Amino acid sequence: MGRAPASLATLSDDFFRDRSGDDCLSNDGLFCADWAIRNLERYVDPTLEHALLVLVAVVAGFGIAFGLALLAHRKKWLAPPFLAATGILYTIPSISFFFLLLPLTGRGALTAIIALTAFSLQIIFRNVSTGLANVPLDVREAARGMGMTERQAMWRVEVPLALPEIIAGLRVATVSTVALATLAVFANGGGLGSEIVVGSNITFKTGIIMAGSIAILMALLFDGLLILTGRLLSPWERAAL
Amino acid sequence: MPTGTPLALTRVSGTTAERGEDPGSGAASLAYLKASKRYPGAESDAVHELDLDVPAGEICVLVGPSGCGKTTAMRMANRTVEITSGDIEIGGRSVLDRNPSELRREIGYVIQQIGLFPHRTVDQNIATVPRLLDWEEDRIAARTTELLELIGLDPAYGDRYPAQLSGGQQQRIGVARALAVDPPLMLMDEPFGAIDPINRTRLQDEFLRLQERIGKTVLFVTHDVDEAIKMGDRIAVLREGGELAQYATPAELLARPADDFVRDFVGTDRALKRLALIPVSEVELAEPVTVRAGESPAEVMPRIATGSAPHPLLIDDAGRPLGWLDSGQLETGPVPSSAPTPPEPVIETSSTLRDALSALLQAGVSQAPVVDGSGRLAGVISVSAISGFLSAGEDIDLEIPAAARPRG
């Protein structure tokens, strides 16, 4: 087992102090509830950092991917290059991405956010594009035939009708970003990853389970919020039944 | 960019005002002037030098086999397909001088697949063009309610989504949406093509009744010659390559097809189709000898002697036919109160000659009494009178607007 990275040393010290004199911990069971409850507070900041990383990355990713998808919808020849570019960004392993970015953006949340944003582009781009492409031809024709300009048809008809697919894309992107953001710690970006890494260094399972569970709950929460938003924004979807 | 005044409107003379109903904002004449469309890279025109003159307030049907360019021809009018040569004028003004989006907002547009916006309620769908034209919300709400009533749909439907409506209701909403800003011209591309036959007939009838009130200029595309005959004041038959084969009233088209193509296209039963266009009231009816119960032989016999019909018809005090009598039976006593032969079939003046002929053939009789709307005897129609009428070609000049023709 290798040595903990220098930057984690201080965290580890805190950790040992918290742990001292605890039976449950010295037994090193799978999950130590007492400890978890007493140390809940130490998870507040990492959780907020984590949520912020995810939100900023997904919002930025949505902004960029949505813009690209609208552009590619108007100018079809742009779709393949956009798909290829976002595809490459999607495929680069996040950790490699952090290290590639280090010389440019240094260590910190910005580096993590750039990598997470880049990762989300492909998923969102694909979904927005599919949503726009799936707008029925007759609806498009009616919009045009009634005198909507291209812009009006886009914003009043095509984008609203693509909403269910756009939301679906956002859900996948958000949930995977919640998971991926745990790696932000390697770029010194904070988040729940810091708690997991501390734990894994000393094989303290309770810490890993706590941080992991919070990440899962966060993913579920964001997913639920998106489902709710989708429902509120597309009441016709339920009316169809 | 050319913008500016709306299409010049030509008020339809009298038609709606005469009936004492709200006149629409009017109707515009429509003229195709050697209008052609050739797609890039195509060897020949999709629509070739089309010349059409549609007077304001009339329904012109473009009909022809698939691939004849009828939909393309229609879409040239609102510039969803751009003409490559020639011109199209609406209300005397070239469509090429107009901004396409603005032009389209002034032309009602109904398509076969309806194309309602699934994410918008019925009200919002109908309000599409008014919103594009920035109408005030009050005015939009009032107009939406008015249109729902016009198409015979409870305004409570306004809050529903299209998916919650039947196909027929959706099609009606499609028509209402096209009528929202009272456009002087309507384009209808196979509007009833996706509807089952029973509902199609109903929607056709409804639209004709509506047209009777609103008097729009309508360009109507169909591949179904029967629908063309039913809906059209004029019919333009197109052949492959987008060439006009014949442009005529339904009666003329059926009586005098311009060539073999049109003759084949309208079908071998065109005589029967002609009959379907003409109400019984247009034919000169024979006058039967009528008698009433209780009349004496002295009163009746001279009428029978001078009358042309062999059998006297017994009528009641209100003039309703009760049945056929034998003249021999009347020589000896007063006219009885019932007749041995019932009057059936009794035909109404508003039915078509086709229905009349069918009723005669069905009953195996050569003549039948005809009654008006209140059941009073109007005359007698016979198989020979119908065939005589057709062979004399008297119906060819008979121009009954589609909206005013008898409907099944």
* pLDDT tens per residue, range A105-162: 878 888 888 989 988 999 999 999 999 999 999 999 999 999 999 999 999 999 999 9
Distance (Å, whole) CA B148 – CA A111? 58
Q: What is the pLDDT of residue B396?
A: 64
Q: What pairs with residue B50 in β-bridges?
A: B35
pLDDT of residue A45: 85
- pLDDT value, residue A4: 40
Binary contact (B132, A234; C-beta < 8 A): no
CA distance to partner chain A, nearest, from residue B71 (Å):
13
Give the residues across from B220 on adjacent strands: B61, B188
Contacts of A143 in chain B (CB under 8 A): 115, 117
* Chain A residues 153-212 with a CB less than 8 Å from chain B: 157, 160-161, 163
- The span from the CA of B165 to the CA of B357, in Å, is 39
Q: Which residue has the tokens 């089952």?
A: B196
Tell me which chain A residue has its CA closest to the CA of residue B117: A139
The confidence score (pLDDT) of residue B77 equals 94
Relative orientation angle of helices B383-391 and B353-363, to the nearest 10 degrees: 140
**Cβ burial A88-116 (10 Å sphere, 16+ → b, else e):** ebeeeebeebbeebeeebeeebebbbbbb
pLDDT of residue B123: 94
In whole angstroms, what is the distance from residue B127 CA to residue B144 CA?
A: 7
Measured between alpha carbons, how far is A176 from A122 in angstroms, rounded to an integer? Answer: 12
Instruction: Check residues A98 and A124 and name the one with the higher pLDDT.
Output: A124
Chain B neighbors of A160, CB-CB under 8 A: 119
| Amino acid in position A53 | L
Mean predicted confidence (pLDDT) in A227-238: 89
The pLDDT value recorded for residue B25 is 55
**CA–CA distance, B382 with B284 (Å, rounded to integer):** 11
pLDDT value of position B408: 54
Largest Cα separation within chain A, whole Å, is 77
Residue-level pLDDT at B11 = 39
> For residue B70, what are its two tokens?
């009828």
Q: What is the mean pLDDT of each run of 10 residues along chain B (408 residues)?
A: 42 38 65 92 90 93 90 93 93 92 93 89 94 92 91 88 89 90 92 84 87 91 90 92 91 87 84 79 78 72 70 79 75 71 79 83 83 80 81 68 72
For A205-211, the CB contacts below 8 A with 24+ separation are A205/A28, A205/A29, A205/A30, A205/A31, A206/A25, A206/A29, A206/A30, A206/A31, A206/A32, A206/A35, A206/A36, A207/A15, A209/A30, A209/A31, A210/A36, A210/A43, A211/A43, A211/A46, A211/A182
Tell me, yes or no, if A233 comes closer than 8 A to chain B by beta carbon.
Answer: no
Banded model confidence at residue A72, pLDDT cuts 50, 70, 90: very high
Question: What tokens appear for B204 in the block?
Answer: 């056709």
Query: Chain A window 142-161: which residues touch B at a Cβ cutoff of 8 Å?
Result: 142-149, 152, 157, 160-161
Q: Which of B115, B132, B178 minimises the CB distance to A152?
A: B132
For residues B313 and B285, give the distance between their C-alpha atoms in angstroms, rounded to a whole number.
14
Of the two residues A21 and B309, the one the predictor is more confident about is B309
Which of B110, B117, B126 is the best substitution to test chain A (most A C-beta atoms within 10 A)? B117
* Look-up of token digits 């025109």: B45
Give the model's pLDDT for residue A22.
54
Q: Tell me the three state secondary structure of residue A120.
A: helix
Nearest to B110 by CA among B74, B67, B66: B74
User: Quick one: closest CA in B to A234, which residue?
Assistant: B119
Give CA separation, B313 vs A233, B127, B231, B291, B370, in Å. 72, 58, 38, 6, 12
Residues of B in contact with A163 (CB under 8 A): 119
B177 chain-A contacts, CB cut-off 8 A: 146
CA distance A150 to chain B (A): 9
Closest-CA residue in chain A for B101? A147
The model carries a pTM of 0.75
Nearest to B221 by CA among B336, B77, B338: B77
Q: What pLDDT, on a 0 to 100 scale, did the predictor assign at position A2?
A: 37
Rounded CA separation A89/A111 (Å): 14
Instruction: For residue A200, count other CB atoms closer than 10 A to its CB.
Output: 15
Give the list of residues 6+ apart from residue A14 with CB closer than 8 angstroms, or none.
none
Chain B residues touching A161 at Cβ < 8 A: 117-119
CB contact under 8 A, A145 and B160: no
Instruction: Tell me the shortest Cα–Cα distance from A220 to chain B, in angstroms.
Output: 28
**pLDDT at site B309:** 65
| pLDDT given at position A9 | 43
| Chain-chain contact of A146 with B80 (C-beta, under 8 angstroms) | no
Q: Do A145 and B114 touch (CB under 8 A)?
A: no
- The b-or-e profile of A3-29 (16+ CB within 10 A means b, else e) is eeeeebeeeeeebeeebeeeeebeeee
Contact A142 B163 (CB under 8 A): no
**Could you tell me whether strands B234-239 and B217-222 are parallel, antiparallel, or unpaired per DSSP bridges?**
unpaired
In this complex, which of A143, A145, A236 lies closest to B118 when CB atoms are compared? Answer: A236
Report, as an integer, the average pLDDT of A180-193: 83
Q: Which of B80, B113, B119 sits opposite A138 (nearest CB)?
A: B113
- Give the number of beta-carbon pairs within 8 Å between A and B: 76
Test B161 with A234 for CB contact under 8 angstroms: no
Question: How far is A138 from A130, CA to CA, in rounded Å?
Answer: 17
Among A135, A236, A237, A238, the strongest candidate for a mutation testing the B interface, having the largest count of B CBs within 10 A, is A236
- What's the pLDDT score for residue B21? 36
